[in-house]
Chains A and B, each alone.
Chain A
């Protein structure tokens, strides 16, 4: 499968714990985006990378959230001291701007449940 992959697919954690998610984009894609989707809503932008540089962070991304893309390939999203309000689907998407394309391809998401 050459599409975007995410791991884990599901994560249940207790409030206050830290969690980390991983995203592997399509190999030639230089841009990687993180979105959050809550039930019944469209995805909301969190942050994006061009290669290894994190170029924009949404105001939705509190100080408890951090994202990295150390070698310009896979990315991780960490949430520290999770809260119940963090429960959502976390989606990763990638695109290939070097080809002039705007298209973003999404991964299957990581569903986080904070109890």
Chain B
């Protein structure tokens, strides 16, 4: 089955700097890769996603890149702000699995220092 690895587990950046979180997946059939942000005690919120037919997607300060050959994808946050502090999870779902269940990475705790 699919396995998703995420790193780093913690990331501390200065406000205004960029943050990059990386994930690798094992199942080459995976075709959908969402990123979720989870603040303490709150629900995971979808912040951006990408499908396998796209190499990059951007939404304001957030971008995701996908390298299908290497089976990895990354989240890029530019001009970080204190409110970006949260735990970020990547996930993948395999094309051949009709459930479209999400297989999550273990999370990255991002701290943006003011």
Chain A residues close to B by CB (< 8 Å): 4, 31, 33, 35, 40-45, 48, 55-56, 91, 95, 97, 102-109
In the complex, are the beta carbons of B44 and A55 less than 8 A apart? no
> Is B101 in contact with A43, judged by CB distance below 8 angstroms?
no
Interchain residue pairs with CB less than 8 A apart (20): A40-B106, A41-B106, A42-B4, A42-B6, A42-B91, A42-B104, A42-B105, A43-B89, A45-B103, A48-B99, A48-B101, A56-B101, A91-B43, A91-B44, A102-B32, A102-B100, A103-B46, A105-B46, A106-B36, A108-B43
User: Given A43-B44, A91-B44, A102-B93, is A55 in contact with B99 using a C-beta cutoff of 8 Å?
Assistant: yes
- Which residue of B102, B104, B106 has the most chain A CB atoms within 10 A of its CB atom? B102
B43 & A43 in contact (Cβ 8 Å cutoff): no
Contact of A103 among B34, B89, B107 (CB under 8 A): B34
Q: CB-CB < 8 A to A4: which residues of B?
A: 43
Complex Cα–Cα for A42 and B101 (A):
13
Separation of A4 and B46 alpha carbons in the complex (Å)? 13
Q: Which residues of A contact B51 (CB under 8 A)?
A: 102
Tally B residues with Cβ within 8 Å of A: 25
- A43-B44, A102-B34 known; 18 new pairs, CB 8 Å cut-off, are A31-B100, A35-B102, A40-B106, A41-B107, A42-B4, A42-B106, A43-B89, A43-B102, A45-B99, A45-B101, A48-B99, A48-B101, A56-B99, A56-B101, A97-B100, A102-B49, A102-B100, A106-B43
Q: Does the CB pair A107–B43 fall under 8 Å?
A: yes
Q: How far is the CA of A106 from the CA of B42 in the complex (A)?
A: 10
Chain A residues lying within 8 Å of B46, measured Cβ to Cβ, are: 103-105
Residues of B contacting A55 in the complex (Cβ-Cβ under 8 angstroms): 98-99
Within 8 A of A (CB), among B18-49: 32, 34, 36, 42-46, 49
Please report the C-alpha to C-alpha distance between residue A102 and residue B32 in the assembled complex, in whole angstroms. Answer: 7
Closest 9 CB pairs of A and B: A42-B104, A45-B101, A102-B32, A106-B43, A108-B43, A106-B44, A56-B99, A42-B89, A43-B104
